[in-house]
Amino acid sequence: MIDLKNMTLDELEKFFINIGESKYRAKQVFRWIYRGVYNFKDMSDLKKELRSKLNDIAYISSLKVVKKMVSNIDETTKYLFLLNDDNIIEGVAMKYNFGNTSCISTQVGCNMKCSFCASTIEGKVRNLKASEMINEVLIMNNEYGKISNIVLMGSGEPFDNYEEVMKFIKIVNNPFGMGIGIRHITISTCGIVPKIYNFADENLGVNLSISLHAPTNELRNKLMPINKVYPIEDLMDACKYYINKTHRRVTFEYSLIKGVNDSIEICKKLTDLLKGLLCHVNLIPINYVDEIGFKKTDNNTIMIFKNILERAGITCTVRRELGSDIEAACGQLRRKYMAGRVK
Ligand code: SF4
C-alpha cells in the first residue's frame, strides 16, 4: 500500500499516470488530502471505479495525538504524536503576533549530541518521512488554529534527513495543499556544512538558522560535538556562501547558559566572528533540563550581551520564553512520557 500523503504533487501525477489514470486526478486528490478528507469514498469528484481502485492500492496516513499540554501562561501547546511503529515524537504550536507557528520534529531522537539538549540523550531512532512531518503540521493546524509559519527546530537535525525535509517543504508550500509561504518556513541546523552548501544551491527562499551557541572552537567543541567535524571556520565559510548565493540573511541561534557561554569576553568574540555578516542573532534563555543541569542566564546579563552585539551593528532579539510551565524545550516532554513520568 502506498501513502499518498508522502508524495509531492509531481510524484502524485506520475503515480496516477502509472496506474493508467489521467494526470489531473492528482490535483483533485491532493486538494482533498489538504482539506482533511482521508477516505477515498468521500472524494466526490472521483469516479466510483477510481475510488475503489485507490482503496485497494493506497492510503492516506495520519498521526495520533497521545498527549497534549497547554500553557496557562501563553497558550503554547505541546503535542506528543504516536507514529505507526509506536515511536513518539513531539511538536509545539505557539502564538505570535504574526500568526501561529508550528515547531516540528524531523527525526525520532537525534544523533548530534548537543550538550544542552534532551532530544539527543538516547540518540537517533530513525528519520521521519515527509508525510509524518506534514501530519504534525496538519494536526496542529486543525486543533490549534491556522498555522502560518513552520520552524524545523524540534527534535532531530533536519540536514541529517535532507531528502525527506526537502520533500516536506515542497509539499507544504504547494498552493493546492497547505500553501505555507516559503519565507514562512525556517530550517535550523547545528552546522552540517556540506548540506548548507547543498541548501544554498537549492535557493528555495526558506529561512536558514544556525545553532551556534559558542564563538570559539574550544567552547563549541564542548557544547556541540558536530563542531569537531565541521569547525567554526568551515561553518562561517558555508554561511558566507549561502548569503552570497541567496542574498538572504542567516539567523544565528545562541542559547545563553549561565557561566558557560554568557561572559562579556565571549560576547566580544561573538561580535568579532559575526561583524559585517548579513545576519541576525537570536538570544535564547536556555530551558532547564533535569538530566543536564545547565542553568539559565539572568535577565541583566542577557541585556548586556544584547547591547554589546547591537553596538557592533549586529541585529539581535531575545527569544520570548513560551510554554515555560509545560516543558516546551526540545525533547523534554517526550523523555518524561517515555519514562512514564507524564501521563
Ligand atoms: S539541539 Fe538539535 S541538533 Fe542538537 S541534539 Fe538537539 S535536536 Fe539534535
Domain boundary among 59, 74, 102: 59
Give, as one character, the DSSP assignment of residue 79. E
Same domain membership, residue 100 and residue 35 = no
Of 118 and 155, the one with more pLDDT: 155
> Which has the higher per-residue pLDDT, 244 or 337?
244
Average per-residue pLDDT for the chain = 93
- Asked if ipTM goes beyond 0.90, one says yes
CATH number for position 7: 1.10.150.530
Residues 326, 227 share a domain = yes
Q: Which of 90, 132, 136, 327 is catalytic?
A: 90
CA of 123 to the centre of ligand 1 (A): 10
Looking at residue 322, its pLDDT comes to 78
| Whether 157 and 212 share a structural domain | yes
Confidence of residue 141 (pLDDT cuts 50, 70, 90): very high
Q: 156 CB less than 6 Å from ligand 1?
A: yes
Q: What is the pLDDT of residue 178?
A: 95
- How far apart are the C-alpha atoms of 280 and 318, rounded to whole Å? 11
Q: Does pLDDT of 149 surpass 60?
A: yes
59, 77, 105: which is the final residue of a domain?
59
Percent of the chain with pLDDT over 70: 94
Band the pLDDT of 329: cuts 50, 70, 90. low
Residue 327: pLDDT above 70?
no
| Cβ(257) – ligand 1 distance below 6 Å | no
Residue 213 lies in a domain: yes
User: Are 36 and 142 found together in one domain?
Assistant: no
Give the distance (Å) from ligand 1 centre to CA of residue 256: 15
Range of the domain at 132: 64-338
Quick one: pLDDT at residue 116?
Answer: 87
- Does residue 318 lie within any of the structural domains? yes
Give per-residue pLDDT as tens, 189-228: 999 999 999 999 999 999 999 999 999 999 999 999 999 9
Ligand 1 within 6 A of 191 CB? Answer: no
Ligand 1 center to 298 CA (angstroms) = 23
**Residue 130 near residue 164 (C-beta atoms within 8 A):** yes
pLDDT in tens, 28-53: 999 999 999 999 999 999 999 999 99
Task: Respond yes or no: is residue 157 known to be catalytic.
Answer: no
Q: What is the residue type of 213?
A: H
Q: Dihedral (C-alpha) 133, 134, 138, 139: value to the nearest 10 degrees?
A: -30
Residues 299 and 194 occupy one common structural domain: yes
| Pick from 174, 184, 188, 183: nearest CA to 203 | 183
- Give a yes or no: residue 166 inside a domain: yes
At residue 328, does pLDDT exceed 60? no
Are residues 44 and 148 part of one domain? no
Q: Looking at the 3D structure of the chain, how many domains does it have?
A: 2
- Ligand 1 atom nearest to 189, measured from its CA: 3
Chain position carrying cell 502506498: 2
Mean pLDDT of 224-242: 98
C-alpha cell at 206: 526558506
Ligand 1: centre distance to CA 232 (Å): 17
Domain match, 40 and 10 both: yes
158 close to ligand 1 (CB < 6 Angstrom): no
DSSP string, 235-266: HHHHHHHHHHHH---EEEEEEEBTTTS-SHHH
Residue 305 within a domain: yes
Query: What is the percentage of the chain residues whose pLDDT exceeds 90?
Result: 85
What DSSP string describes 128-196? PPHHHHHHHHHHHHHHT--EEEEEE-SSS-GGGGHHHHHHHHHHHH-TTTT---GGGEEEEES--HHHH
On whether both 71 and 55 belong to a single domain, the answer is no
Q: What is the pLDDT of residue 342?
A: 54
343 lies in some domain: no
Residue 152 sits in a domain whose CATH number is: 3.20.20.70
Q: Is residue 114 part of a domain?
A: yes
Q: 206 and 225, same structural domain?
A: yes
- For the question of residue 90 being annotated catalytic, the response is yes
Instruction: Please report whether residue 106 resides in a domain.
Output: yes
What the block records as the C-alpha cell of 31 is 486538494
Together in a domain, 87 and 208: yes
> Do 27 and 81 share a structural domain?
no
Closest ligand 1 atom number to CA of residue 118:
6
**104 or 323, which is more confident:** 104
| pLDDT over 70 at 251, yes or no | yes
Measured CA to CA, the distance from residue 63 to residue 84 in angstroms comes to: 8
Worst-scoring range by mean pLDDT, 20-29, 63-72, 134-143, 290-299?
290-299
Residue 123 placed within a domain: yes
Q: Within this chain, do residues 50 and 69 fall inside the same structural domain, yes or no?
A: no
Q: Which of 22, 40, 59 is the last residue of a domain?
A: 59
